[in-house]
Amino acid sequence: MNNHVQSVIQNRIGFITLDRPKALNSLSLEMVRSITALLLQWKDSEEVTAVFIHSSSEKAFCAGGDIRFFYDVGTATPKGDSALLEDFFSEEYALNHLIHFYPKPYVALLNGVVMGGGMGIAQAGPACRLRIVTERTKMAMPEVNIGLFPDVGGSYFLARSPGEIGTYLGMTGEIINAADALYADLADVYIPTAALPALMDLLRTSSATDIRDLIRAFAAPYAEQAIPEESTLAKNRAAIDLHFAGKDTGKVLASLAQDQTEFARQTSILMQKRSPLLMAVTLEQLRRGAKMSVAECLRMERTMVRHCFKHGEVLEGVRALVVDKDYAPRWSPASLELIDEALILSFFEPVWPDYAHPLRDLL
């Protein structure tokens, strides 16, 4: 097993512990493969009735994919390792699909940072999932900040958040807390970190037939500590639904500019820092994803990833934020006015024939 993914079976629960604290549990290809292998192994095993995935660190559940790896491989000359980049996204998205349709209860403890790829291994399907948040939860799909788009199934789960909340989160990359996550239907229960040791003890000793019911009952006394209806998203819901409707990024920004509230002003400032192209691509992606199945969304995203690296916007974004840390990405095109619909739609053009798509077997 990979050193950054630990596992143990206790009380018929398969515990997966992400253990790469220095990198905030950023997912490597090896970690993706380790998690996949465990889930496949436990899928039909009578020894395991449920899966519980968490982190060894309170700082982060998982901060996403290893974007420094993306940059190193994407800029390597010669590009002999580009196959590893292809493998990473194909296998990561296949893992996201496996988790979404897992046949046993799948519980994710989202303590600390939960971003990007971390959301992909947290957002299981409604038939199996239970997503726990804490006062430390910092959740986001921040890909537009590095010239990428909300992948790992973001086309599906963001498009199904209430109203235009998913559009807002995808286009701004804004970080939300536990109450926000509950309101956005990106989490299910709140448990404070002080109570987590007691929860873990309970899981290891209880005879409950479904640990999700057990956890919900355990979490019930803490519900008043993170009330969805009192979240920032709830308070700004009307403005979010108003400004982020439609399919035109320019109109979104124009609508925000006409709103004199502090929320609209801060949102506008945030979006000025994002890749103009990838904000526009993200808006198109989420509108398409609203009408697609999980498998169709993941196949679309796999195609988009190829176009993204070919264009180079993501490499520039990672350079500015992670490599050189000058925090001054040179986006291309530099403004929304220079982006036409043909460029946006080019990110959705087929890369492979249907029979050769890396994720063709997903149902």
Is the pTM here over 0.95, yes or no?
A: yes
pLDDT at 78 over 70: no
E-state strands within 254-331? none
Report residue 83's pLDDT band, with 50, 70 and 90 as the boundaries: confident
Q: What is the mean pLDDT of the chain?
A: 96
- SS3 annotation, 292-312: CCHHHHHHHHHHHHHHHHHHC
Contact 218, 191 (CB under 8 A): yes
* Burial zone of 354 (CB within 10 Å; 0-12 exposed, 13-18 middle, 19+ buried): exposed
Contact 41, 25 (CB under 8 A): no
Catalytic residue among 92, 143, 180, 313: 143
pLDDT in tens, 21-38: 999 999 999 999 999 999
Q: State the Cα torsion 136-137-141-146 to the nearest 10°.
A: 10
pLDDT in tens, 84-136: 899 999 999 999 999 999 999 999 999 999 999 999 999 999 999 999 999 99
Respond yes or no: is residue 151 known to be catalytic. yes
Amino acid sitting at position 360: R
pLDDT in tens, 208-231: 999 999 999 999 999 999 999 999
Amino acid sitting at position 154: G
Respond yes or no: is residue 65 known to be catalytic. yes
Catalytic residue among 151, 164, 174, 188: 151
Respond yes or no: is residue 120 known to be catalytic. no
Catalytic residue among 14, 65, 112, 173: 65
Amino acid sitting at position 47: E
Closest CA to 41 of 61, 14, 4: 14
Catalytic residue among 14, 64, 112, 117: 117
Structure tokens at 175: 């970080």
pLDDT in tens, 239-256: 999 999 989 999 999 999
Contact 6, 53 (CB under 8 A): no
Overall fold of domain 5-356: 2-enoyl-CoA Hydratase; Chain A, domain 1 (3.90.226)
Domain boundaries, the chain: 5-356
pLDDT in tens, 122-176: 999 999 999 999 999 999 999 999 999 999 999 999 999 999 999 999 999 999 9
* Run of H or E residues at 251: helix 249-257
pLDDT in tens, 276-289: 999 999 999 999 99
The pLDDT assigned to 81 comes to 57
The pLDDT assigned to 77 comes to 58
